[in-house]
């Protein structure tokens, strides 16, 4: 069984294959995002998190997903435009993916079925997963947990303070 996201490859919005190993030595927050959701304003908090911690080795990886209430119907170009014009998003947004059922992205198979975050599907848009510098899953935060809340920020700071070996 894979125990690190570093072994997984994903596609960016331009169709380029990106190995997640390219984020080695970075603390990551992986989020499934959508532009027509009650949680969509979390883009603002996510951008604030990114601005606060990006110079310390932190990245946010956003994965648009239309699996919940069809709340991300747009094309990659429309999603990119929405994120830029409405929330000034500068963190990385990837290709729209499936995270439930048949065709589930391998990344989300790992994120939702492990001994750290449990063995349950993502419940809704804007669920967040914290990844350590060595690609290990460290924490899971459900949609209602605010990106700038103490629960997430203290977890990020704890991971950023750890040395990578």
Print burial letters for 1-24: b (CB count within 10 Å at least 16), e (below 16).
Answer: eeebbbebebeebeeeebebeebe
**Residue found under tokens 């996201």:** 5
Q: Which has the closest alpha carbon to 7: 131, 115, 95, 103?
A: 131
Torsion of CA 21, 93, 17, 124, to 10 degrees: 80
Q: Are strands 118-119 and 27-33 parallel, antiparallel or unpaired?
A: unpaired
Whether 65 is catalytic is: no
* List 8, 27, 37, 139, catalytic entry: 37
Angle, alpha carbons 41-44-45 (nearest 5°)? 100
Pinpoint the alpha helices (H) of the chain: 42-53, 76-87, 106-111, 150-161
Question: Which are the catalytic amino acids?
Answer: 37
């Amino acid at each position: 069984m894979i125990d690190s996201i570093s072994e997984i490859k994903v596609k960016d919005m331009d169709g380029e294959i990106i190995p997640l190993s390219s984020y080695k030595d970075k603390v990551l927050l992986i989020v499934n995002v959508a532009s027509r959701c009650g949680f969509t304003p979390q883009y603002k908090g996510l951008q604030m998190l990114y601005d606060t911690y990006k110079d310390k080795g932190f990245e946010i990886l956003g994965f648009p997903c239309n699996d919940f209430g069809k709340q991300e119907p747009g094309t990659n170009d429309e999603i990119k435009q929405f994120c830029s014009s409405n929330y000034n998003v500068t963190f990385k947004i990837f290709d729209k993916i499936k995270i439930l059922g048949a065709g589930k992205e391998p990344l989300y198979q790992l994120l939702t079925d492990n001994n750290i975050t449990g063995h349950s599907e993502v419940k809704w848009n804007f669920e967040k997963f914290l990844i350590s510098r060595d690609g290990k899953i460290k924490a899971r935060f459900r949609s209602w947990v605010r990106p700038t809340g103490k629960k997430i920020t203290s977890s990020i700071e704890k991971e950023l303070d750890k040395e990578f070996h």
